């Protein structure tokens, strides 16, 4: 069955089509959920909830644009709802400079990078994931989270600082270990 046929069957609430749709996108969408979750279990919950919401709202999908993009937006919005009560740090200085994150792939594993992103405080992880990993603009993020663009920039700056410190610490440790 084609994706369009599967979606049409999902709109009729057919469980086998829903299972097929889940199988098609679960791995990719789990990666999305990991970026917005504190840990693996939260990501699994976000994935499950996101699919349930997608199945309930699938009749709203008109076929314009990609289904994947439509469903991904639902997953992200659902994950963000879990953090609706967190306080984002307001910007103090609008002249925050970019913090460069230089990652040498041979020194940092993807698993470690994902782990340190998940360890970020919620407000930093959310803004970092939206901006860096999913390509949203500061304006879009500010609208999604109902905060100022200055606050999104401030939270991104702080997230990058924390990540930079952790990456420098692990690369320094690896360098010292290999020098011995």
Give the DSSP per-residue string, 102-116.
Answer: ---TTTS-HHHHHHH
Closest CA to 129 of 28, 36, 34, 29: 36
**pLDDT of 16 strictly over 70:** yes
**Per-residue model confidence (pLDDT) at position 37:** 85
Helices 67-81, 40-57: axis angle to 10 degrees equals: 120
Q: Give the global pTM.
A: 0.66
d(CA 57, CA 13): 11
d(CA 19, CA 34): 21
**pLDDT of 175 strictly over 60:** no
**Per-residue model confidence (pLDDT) at position 58:** 96
**Per-residue model confidence (pLDDT) at position 112:** 82
**Per-residue model confidence (pLDDT) at position 96:** 46
In contact, 127 and 152? CB cutoff 8 Å: yes
């Amino acid at each position: 069955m084609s994706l369009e046929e599967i979606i049409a069957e999902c709109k009729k609430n057919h469980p086998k089509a829903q299972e097929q749709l889940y199988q098609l996108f679960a791995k990719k969408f789990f990666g999305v959920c990991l970026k917005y979750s504190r840990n693996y279990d939260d990501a699994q919950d976000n994935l499950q909830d996101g699919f349930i919401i997608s199945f309930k709202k699938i009749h709203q999908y008109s076929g314009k644009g990609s289904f994947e993009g439509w469903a991904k937006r639902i997953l992200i919005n659902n994950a963000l709802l879990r953090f609706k009560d967190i306080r984002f740090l307001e910007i103090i200085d609008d002249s925050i400079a970019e913090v460069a994150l230089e990652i040498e792939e041979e020194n940092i594993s993807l698993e470690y990078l994902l782990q340190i992103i998940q360890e970020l405080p919620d407000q930093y992880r959310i803004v970092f994931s939206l901006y860096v990993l999913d390509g949203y603009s500061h304006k879009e993020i500010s609208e999604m989270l109902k905060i100022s663009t200055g606050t999104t920039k401030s939270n991104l700056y702080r997230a990058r600082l924390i990540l930079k410190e952790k990456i420098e610490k692990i690369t320094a440790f690896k360098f010292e270990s290999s020098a011995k």
